Amino acid sequence: MPSSGRENMLPLVSVIIPAFNSARYLQDAVRSVFDQSYSDVECIVIDDGSTDNTEEVLNELSIVYPTLRAAYKTNGGLSSARNMGLQMCSGSYISFLDADDVLLPGKLERQVTVLNSHPDVGIVYGDYLVVTEDLRAFAAFTAEMPRRLDPIDALSYRNWIATQASLIRRTVIDKVGMFDERLAAAEDWDYWIRCARVAQMFYLAGAVVLYRQHGTQMHREYPRMRQACIQVAKKSFCDDKRRLRTAMAAIEWNHAKYLWKQHNRRAALIAIMNCAVRHHFGLHMGCIPGQLEAMCKSPLRLFKEASSADLFR
């Protein structure tokens, strides 16, 4: 991209798409970038060592979209693919998109408008729709952090921001650095905590992306996700005992919800006790599902079955 004259043009947005064995969905993702109402966009796809026909699909897409940029690398994981895209891109603003997801048509235009009109804002993020494999919406996720909380405090409870629902200034990325390739998962939570320490975040209400659910996604590997979240909490808040306790308690609370859904009631109770007793976590954010709340009100039988060694391990 030529640099001369860009100061009189719309800011270039780079959309980075890491792809691993994503041939089935990649066309939807790439098309959603080129169908944006905002036109000054470069699209970069990083094939992270795919073993399916992702390369073949990329070659076909390059004919349809001649400005599409593609690169190929040995498999190194999501973070390494995003980092390679960051090294290649030229945009003043950066958007990430997973290869199985889809940007809604006005996503970039709406978010670019925010960054252009709020020079003090480093990151803008929005909501998303959860969709089936064939892109039928069945749930909506609102990403707004509790306004009464400092962003880092809010992020100590959980990751609020979907990576593909955000737009980031390149200057923020230059301060924060690359994604942590040592993390097997939850690398986005780690990244937003780091960003919140150097940049102002702006929530723009409304869905901007379709988040596709299917059987091969990383978030379905629960033990791996749980361990990665623990790793991120300890890394991010190693010098902040209050926030570390909050993060660890929130992870334990999510574990309780997971166990409850798996019909492991006794283990769910133990996780709740770990959350409330070991981590001194006040469950005051309105996040207690009704069935868990009922279990908390009458846990006597399960409590008697649980040993103190289980509760305070």
pLDDT at 28 over 60: yes
Q: What is the largest CA-CA distance in the chain?
A: 73
- pLDDT tens for 71-90 read 999 999 999 999 999 999 99
Q: Percent of the chain beyond pLDDT 90?
A: 70
Q: Which fold has domain 6-214?
A: Spore Coat Polysaccharide Biosynthesis Protein SpsA; Chain A (3.90.550)
Kindly provide the b/e burial profile for residues 67-93, where b requires at least 16 CB atoms within 10 angstroms of the residue's own CB.
Answer: ebbbeeeeebbbbbbbbbbbeebebbb
The DSSP code sequence of 10-38 is PPPEEEEEEESS-HHHHHHHHHHHHT-S-
- pLDDT tens for 5-19 read 444 578 999 999 999
Tell me what the pLDDT averaged over the chain comes to: 87
- pLDDT tens for 211-252 read 999 876 555 688 999 999 999 999 999 999 989 988 988 898
**Across 32-52, average pLDDT:** 97
Domain spans in the chain, listed from the N-terminal domain onward:
6-214, 237-311
